[in-house]
Amino acid sequence: MKTLVIAEKPSVAQDIVRALAPVAGRFDKHEDHFENEQYVVTSAVGHLLEIQAPEAFDVKRGKWSFAHLPVIPPHFDLKPVEKTKSRLAAVVKQARRKDVGRLVNACDAGREGELIFRLIAQYAFDGKHAPKPVERLWLQSMTPQAIREGFGRLRSDAQMQGLADAARSRSEADWLVGINGTRAMTAFNSQGGGFFLTTVGRVQTPTLAIVVDREEQIRKHVPRDYWEVHATFLAQAGSYQGRWFDPDWKKDPQDAEKRPERLWSADEAARIAAAVRGQACSVREESKPSTQASPLLFDLTSLQREANGRFGFSAKTTLALAQSLYEKHKALTYPRTDSRWLPEDYLPVARQTFEMLAASAMPHLAGHAQTALAQGWVRASKRIFDNAKVSDHFAIIPTLQAPGALSEAEQKLYDLVARRFMAVFFPSAEYLITTRITTATHAGAHHHFRSDGKVLVKPGWLAIYGKEAEAESQAAGQPAGQKGEAAAKSLVPVAAGEMVRNEAVDIRALQTRPPARYSEATLLGAMEGAGKLIDDEELRAAMQEKGLGTPATRAAIIEGLLTEKYMLREGRELVPTAKATQLMTLLRGLQVEELSRPQLTGEWEAKLARMERGQLARADFMREIADMTARIVAKAKEFNRDSVPGDYATLTAACPNCGGQIKENYRRYACTGQAAGGQAGQGCGFSITKTPAGRTLSVPEAEALLAQRRIGPLEGFRSKAGWPFTAELTLAEDAEAPGRYKLEFDFGDSAPAEETPQAAQELAAQPSLGPCPRCGSAVKLLGKNYVCEKSVATSAAPASCDFKSGQTILQQPISAEQMGKLLQTGKTDLLDKFISNRTRRPFAARLAWSAGDGKVIFEFEPREGARARPAYSRAAPAASAAKPAAKTTTKAAAKTAKAAAEKKKTPRAGSLQPSAALAAVIGPGPFGRGEVMQKLWDYIKAHNLQDPQDKRTLIADEKLRPLFEADRIGMFKLAGIAGKHLS
């Protein structure tokens, strides 16, 4: 009978085959496995299965209500991951073979690796097939010798039962909390109608809480004035700067803004300045050597933080690049790791890696690798090689394979990892640090000024980053996180006993600043160190090695928060939205803050660790999770939405009905009836929802809406069916209650423009863009629409025309210039940023006036060799699409369009001459247009220039860059670019 070995990834399966072949015989390679007389070796590709509730408990979104909660199924079914179904089938086929007598779990050494294998075995032996004996291969090093030794000491299935229980429990508990928490909060927020998706999760929500807490600190921060005194001192050798400080200062735990150099009184700063001005001062100083070791090797989180700080890469982008360098180029080791050390038997591999770099065609790396080898610096060190600190995987380092053609972004990331790998073996950087205290004495009082000097004596590992001289010690190569060091500078010498004289004094009036918003780099660091936020010592210890999420999932958590509009990217800052603040208010108000604090993860990690050691039963843990889930749902069911407590704003804009004061509560902005300076009343009844169509309206947006009666267009609304849409919000007078206002959506497709004297006056002041295609009068911009001047009633004449077209159509801005072209020539230029309501995909078209339809329609460019596409009509007034366009379907129109397209069509060969840039890629020509595109695509596919993560993105190499004029373009732009290079 044969032994089936199941690894977690194909690359590990190959490593196992290479290690076993010398002792077990040659393996034959098949499509999905390797095989010899003794072993069958195959692999998963990460998780092949996911848990799901049985069908009876799988409540669909339309039924997300408290009536169906909590969802606590008696057991969990398994569902294949859609994109890896074929791989699962291949692995299961091998497991069920009659000549396979036992299985070896060779998945990664950790909780997730155990879960991946256990789910595969459960699925393969589901009652219809008898289970087979299982043993565990536990590896922390992937050298051939370590793999062979691992097969010599396989662990029994019973030994791994605790880890297996912990893995299943963590997975099922996350499901229970995520599903029930999300559905309970969604049901709570959707009670007033509509569907307001409110996602929560054990990792996602505490991560969001970190960002929201920081934003609240920023919002509540009150700037405080303080002063610093800076002085210039003149010595025999020249002048130097110093800053006043209090040598007796002690940290105040109640006031984090206090510093030894800060003065909280302008008078005191003035007294110090007066006391030191022009004085002879004594000097004492201390110079001592200092060393600085290189940072540790990269794990995924530290790599993501470094790449974000240095290049602005998002965590998701860094992971994708690292995965490409690992899978496609075989140039980096496995990236989804949380370890920054190497196994102790990896020293020979490290030397071989240096030899590869020294012989590579990368001169910026080769010289440093040669130096390290020549100096004998590649040697064992506990700072680099430590089995106790290697978890499921070891640190990210270059492999023995030199990379081939890399994209610019891939090259940047590879260089980052390669430099860090070499740097840990290099000697420490050596500095000479000088601290100089200059003291001025006046009227018996001593005033101290500090000056710091730092000189790079030996660059050591900094040489890898270009730090060869003192002036370069703060150059761009410095790793992120060390930029807070004092700028390298030397102080002019002062002789022993020399008195210096004050030359100038500068009093600087400053203000305290709020803490900085999180970037992806700092948020990843906060997630990694989330255990520090926990007071309980046992829970903090349980999270010490874990944090929030894992290196492999943190990028996805951040992207999920961005996708759900809980956060926005502004430059490199992550800014929480009103939706995020509202969620935190709800969780605090419902007293279910365990969902928003890292304590929950700490408690789980402590209990799962006990389960791994056999000290806690899985059934007991899952019972506790079910009880907690039921309590969360019960809290949400019991609470009154109108009285959720929170830190709510009072708006400055007045109530449009009565002029009273508007206050925020959990779900609405409502009139309190209290005028400024007056007495509080019951309110006039005016209020607007904070979440129209599932989009949270922020306080500034509500202020603008109340003040201007209109805001937008705004994105992020969702219809009852869940489709996203864009619209303006308006406060419109209620026809059934004159003088009262209500909230309405404006899609820009109402008939005539607002008939008010103000509208007529505003329209009269606007320049004409061209003649109205209906009546010949002037078309002008009014609000967010282009309208005929005859569409607005005046005191002299009623409205007589209904021409109106939006300034935004299907999310495509229509400029005044383009509207002018439509009015004067009948059509606009080709516009390429329309977004289909049906498919949500971008498309290009012209806007044209159709006299037959009496409206503005889409006109599409004919595609060569294809039937001409019919024009699509569109009602002219549309400003921001709410309805799909109608199709003109007459056969005569289609035939006419086709004939016109064929008449204009360029011959396929012999007439189009490429530019020099295009000819460098496809040859000198002449060509037909179709032939040009075919040759371009042949070149792109032959050189693998489609982004592996997004096939619609094309990557420029040296030949394509002059053509693209960019490093990357979308594939739909290729035809337009090629057209510009043909004559």
Query: What backbone phi and psi angles, to 5 degrees, belong to 943?
Result: -105, 15
Cα separations in angstroms, 73 against 56, 494, 894: 9, 78, 57
Angle of the 551-563 helix axis to the 315-327 helix axis, nearest 10: 130
**In 10 A of CB 951, how many CB atoms?**
9
42/35 Cα distance (integer angstroms) = 9
10/32 Cα distance (integer angstroms) = 9
Q: Element (H or E) spanning 669, and its range?
A: strand 668-671
Cα separations in angstroms, 883 against 8, 516, 855, 878, 879: 48, 43, 15, 9, 11
Single-letter amino acid code for the residue at 643: S
Cα separations in angstroms, 205 against 209, 525, 527, 600, 602: 6, 16, 11, 11, 14
75/222 Cα distance (integer angstroms) = 53
Residues 6+ apart with CB under 8 A from 89: none
Cα separations in angstroms, 66 against 150, 184, 624, 637, 642: 52, 7, 21, 7, 17
Sign of CA dihedral 460, 465, 470, 474: negative
- Give me the numbers of helices (H) and strands (E) for the chain, helices first please: 26, 38
Q: Element (H or E) spanning 156, and its range?
A: strand 155-156
3-state helix, strand, coil in the chain (%, to 5): 40, 25, 40
Residues 6+ apart with CB under 8 A from 152: none
Structure tokens at 675: 């005028």
Cα separations in angstroms, 767 against 150, 606, 754, 756, 780: 81, 71, 19, 19, 6
Give the end-to-end CA distance of the chain in Å, rounded to a whole number: 70
688, β-bridge pairs: 669
What three-state secondary structure class fits 663? strand
According to the 3-state scheme, what is the secondary structure of 398-434?
ECCCCCCCCCHHHHHHHHHHHHHHHHCCCCCEEEEEE
Residues 6+ apart with CB under 8 A from 721: none
Structure tokens at 405: 């053609």
According to the 3-state scheme, what is the secondary structure of 251-290?
CCCCCCCCCCCCECCHHHHHHHHHHHCCCEEEEEEEEEEE
Q: Is 334 tagged catalytic?
A: yes
Residues 6+ apart with CB under 8 A from 353: 397, 398, 399, 400, 421
804, β-bridge pairs: 787
| Catalytic hit among 39, 226, 240, 334 | 334
Strands (E), 831-871: 831-835, 842-850, 855-859
For the sheet with 34-35, list strands across it: 28-29, 34-35, 39-43, 2-7, 100-106, 134-136, 155-156
Cα separations in angstroms, 103 against 6, 62, 128, 156, 646: 7, 43, 18, 11, 56
105/107 Cα distance (integer angstroms) = 6
CB-CB contact of 727 with 697 (8 Å): no
Q: Is the previous residue joined to 914 through a cis bond, with omega within 30 degrees of 0?
A: no
Structure tokens at 626: 């079910």
What are the catalytic residues?
334
